[in-house]
Amino acid sequence: MSPELALLNGLIEPLQYAFMQRSLAVAIMVGIICSVVGSYLMVQRLALLGDAISHSVLPGLAIAFLLGVNIFIGAFIAGVLSTVIIGWIHTRSPIKEDAAMGIVFSAFFALGITLITTIQKDNKIDLNHFLFGNILGVTAGEVRDTAIIAALVLLIVVLLYKELLFYSFDPLGAKASGLPTGLLQAGLMVLIALTVVASMKVVGVILVLSLLIAPGATAYLLAPRLHQVMLLGAGVGVFSSVSGMYLSYYLNLPSGPAIVMVVSTLFGLAFLFSPRHGVLMGPKRWPFGTSR
Amino acid sequence: MAPAPYITIDHLSVNYRDVQALRNINLTLRPGKLVGVFGPNGAGKSTLIKAMLGLMPLVTGRVTYGEDTLAHQLDRVAYVPQRSQIDWTFPATVWDVVMMGRVQKTGWFNRFSTASRQIAQDALNRVGMADFRDRPIGALSGGQQQRVFLARALAQEADIFCFDEPFVGVDQKTEDVIYKIFRELAAAGKIVLVVNHDLGEAIMNFDQLILLNKELIATGPRDWVLTRDNMTRAYGGHVGFFSHVA
C-alpha cells in the first residue's frame, strides 16, 4: 500500500465506528462555531470574558444533572448568569471589570467542582470529561444538541452580521446611530455561552478558550476583513478539532489537549510565516502596517 | 415645508465618575450654521456631545430636537468619535467602515441595497477616498482615516452631524476637505457641531462658537464670544495672548 493510501485508510478506517462518526460531526460543528464567535471576542479584546464564561458553566451543569434536566441548559444558564453578575459588580462598585471577572468565574468554578465531585461519587459522571473534554465519548443526544446550538449560533451571526460588525468596531458610533447596543452586547454574551456549552465535551471548559481565540487570531494574521477572519478561522478550527480527534484515537491522548496543541501550532506558524505580519517575513510591522 | 427644527439644550448637568463634568448648560443649535465647541482640556466638550446623544446619563436637563428628545431620534444623527477611541487594527476595509453608515437605514435582517451601496460610494468620492475602498483601515494615514469616518457620517444621510476633534493628527489636504464638506452640510441646512482640541486659526471657520469650561462661558458669533473676560473665565489667568481675541 502506498503511503498516501495508507494515510487515507488511516483517516477513513476509524469512521466505521459509530462513536467516531459522532465525534467527527461534533468536532466539525464545534470547530466552526468556536472560531466564528471567538473572532468577536478577539476583536473586542474580550478574551478573558470567554475564559470567565467557560469556567462559570460548571455549577449549572451539575445542578441540571441533579435535577435531571438537560445539562446543556443548566450550563447555558450559569454561563449567562455569570456575565450578568460580572456586569452588575462592575457597574455598581468601583471594582474594575477584569477583577469582577476573576472573582465571579473562580467562585462559579469552585462551586461547580465541589458539586460535581460530590455527585460523581454516586453517579456516572466524570469531572475530568467536563474539565478537559472527551470527544470520543459523545452520545447521539449530544450530537443532536450540538447541531441545534451550532445552527442557532450561525443563524444569529448571519442575521446580525452588519450590526455586530458596527458595534464591535465602534460601539459609541453604533449607539449614536440608534442601534440598541445593550441588546447587541447581550446577544454576544448569549452566543459565547451557547458556544462554550457546545464545546464542553470536545475540549473541556478549561481549554475552550484556546479554540475560541486561536483560530480567529491565526486567521487575523492572514486576512484583512472580519468575515474572512471568521471563514478562514472556521477552517483552522475544523482542521484542529478533527486532527486532534484522530490524535486522540490513535495515540490515546486526551482529546482536548490534543486539539489545543494542534491549533496552537497553527497559530505559531501564522505568527512566524504570515506573508504580511509574520515575524520572519520582511520588516517588522504591526497589523496592517503602521497606524499613525 | 416646515422649517428645520432646532436642538434645544435645557439645564443640562452631567457627572463623570461622581465629579461634575457639565453644569447647567442652556444652548440652542440652529440648522445651517457651523458650530464650534472650544474650551480647555477637561472642559467637558466631548461630554457635551455624548450627553446630548444620550450616550451617557444626564443628572438633570433635557435635550430636544423639534418636539421630541434628541436621544429618541438618533437615526437622524451622525457622530464621529475621537480617532483615539477606535481600534485601527480591527479587521475591516475602508468600504466596510463606510457601509456601517448604512446599517441603521438598512434595518434588521436586511441586506444592503444597491441604493445604499451607491450612497456609500458617493460619500467616498466626496472625501476623495474612492481609490482606497479595499484597503485595510489600519494601512491608512491619520488624515485618510478621518476622511473615511467623514464618508461614513455622510453615508448616514443625517440631519445632525457631531464631530469630536476631527482635526487631530490630520494633514492639510484632509483639513481642507473636511472644512469644505462642513460648509456644504451647513449650506444644506444641517446642524453641524464640531468639538475642537485647541484654539487657533480653526476658530475663524465657525459661524457660532460655544466656549465651555464645565459651564457655558459664552456662545454666539466670534466677536461676541472672544472677549478677554470670556477667555480668562474659560482658560484661567495663564493665557496671556490670543491673536483672535477682539
Binary contact (A287, B53; C-beta < 8 A): no
Q: What is the predicted pLDDT for the residue at A291?
A: 42
| DSSP tag of B83 | G
Does B241 touch chain A if contact means CB atoms closer than 8 Å?
Answer: no
Q: What is the predicted pLDDT for the residue at A292?
A: 38
Cα B173–chain centre separation: 19
Q: What is the predicted pLDDT for the residue at B242?
A: 52
Q: What is the mean pLDDT of chain B?
A: 91
Residue among A166, A172, A288 whose CB faces B103 most closely? A166
Strand partners, B219: B210
Give the whole-angstrom CA distance, residue A56 versus residue A75: 8
Percent of chain B topping pLDDT 70: 95
pLDDT tens for each residue of B135-166? 999 999 999 999 999 999 999 999 999 999 99
Binary contact (B91, A165; C-beta < 8 A): no
Give the whole-angstrom CA distance, residue B7 versus residue A174: 21
Residue type, A271: F
For the cut 80, the answer to whether the pLDDT of residue B89 exceeds it is yes
- CATH code of residue B85: 3.40.50.300
Give the whole-angstrom CA distance, residue A207 versus residue A244: 13
- Positive or negative torsion for Cα A184, A188, A194, A198: positive
Binary contact (B90, A220; C-beta < 8 A): no
Binary contact (B96, A228; C-beta < 8 A): no
Binary contact (A169, B80; C-beta < 8 A): no
Residue among A163, A170, A289 whose CB faces B81 most closely? A170
Residue B47 belongs to a domain:
yes
In the block, which residue shows the cell 459522571?
Answer: A125
Q: What is the mean pLDDT of chain A?
A: 91
Residue B114 belongs to a domain:
yes
**Which carries the bigger pLDDT value, residue B63 or residue A289?**
B63
Binary contact (B79, A220; C-beta < 8 A): no
Q: What is the predicted pLDDT for the residue at A290?
A: 45
Residue B163 belongs to a domain:
yes
Binary contact (A172, B99; C-beta < 8 A): no
Q: Which DSSP string corresponds to B127-191? A: TT-GGGTTSBGGGS-HHHHHHHHHHHHHHTT-SEEEEESTTTT--HHHHHHHHHHHHHHHHTT-E
Give the whole-angstrom CA distance, residue B140 versus residue B209: 32
ipTM of the complex: 0.93
Residue B2 belongs to a domain:
no
A124/chain B closest Cα distance in angstroms? 44
For the cut 90, the answer to whether the pLDDT of residue B240 exceeds it is no
Residue among B77, B88, B99 whose CB faces A176 most closely? B77
Q: What is the predicted pLDDT for the residue at B239?
A: 56
B87 contacts in A (CB within 8 Å)? Answer: 43, 45, 169
Over residues B34-41, mean pLDDT: 93
Does B104 touch chain A if contact means CB atoms closer than 8 Å?
Answer: yes
Give the pLDDT band of residue B238 (cuts 50, 70, 90).
Answer: low
Chain A to chain B Cβ contacts (< 8 Å) = 103
Mutate to test the interface with B, among A170, A221, A229, A232 (most CBs of B within 10 A): A170
B92 contacts in A (CB within 8 Å)? Answer: 165, 169, 224-226
pLDDT tens for each residue of B186-223? 999 999 999 998 777 778 889 999 999 999 999 999 88
Tens digit of pLDDT at every position of chain A (292 positions): 788 888 888 888 888 999 999 999 999 999 999 999 999 999 998 888 999 999 999 999 999 999 999 989 999 999 999 999 999 998 888 899 899 999 999 999 999 999 999 988 877 778 888 888 888 889 999 999 999 999 999 999 999 999 999 999 999 999 999 999 999 999 999 999 999 999 988 889 989 999 999 999 999 999 999 999 999 999 999 999 999 999 989 999 888 899 999 999 999 999 999 888 888 876 555 555 444 3
Q: What is the predicted pLDDT for the residue at B216?
A: 95
Residue B1 belongs to a domain:
no
A166 contacts in B (CB within 8 Å)? Answer: 100, 103
Going along chain A from its start, the domains and CATH numbers come out as 10-273 (1.10.3470.10)
Residue B241 belongs to a domain:
no
The range of the structural domain enclosing residue B15 comes to 7-235
Binary contact (A169, B90; C-beta < 8 A): yes
For the cut 80, the answer to whether the pLDDT of residue B75 exceeds it is yes
Q: What is the predicted pLDDT for the residue at A284?
A: 52
Q: What is the predicted pLDDT for the residue at B2?
A: 60
Residue B192 belongs to a domain:
yes
Residue among B89, B101, B156 whose CB faces A286 most closely? B89
For the cut 90, the answer to whether the pLDDT of residue B243 exceeds it is no
A289 contacts in B (CB within 8 Å)? Answer: 136, 138-139
Q: What is the predicted pLDDT for the residue at A287?
A: 54
What lies within 8 Å, CB to CB, of B220 at 6+ separation is B208, B209
- C-alpha cell of A107? 467562585
Does A176 touch chain B if contact means CB atoms closer than 8 Å?
Answer: yes
What's the structural domain count of chain B?
A: 1
Residue among B75, B109, B162 whose CB faces A178 most closely? B75
Residue type, B43: A
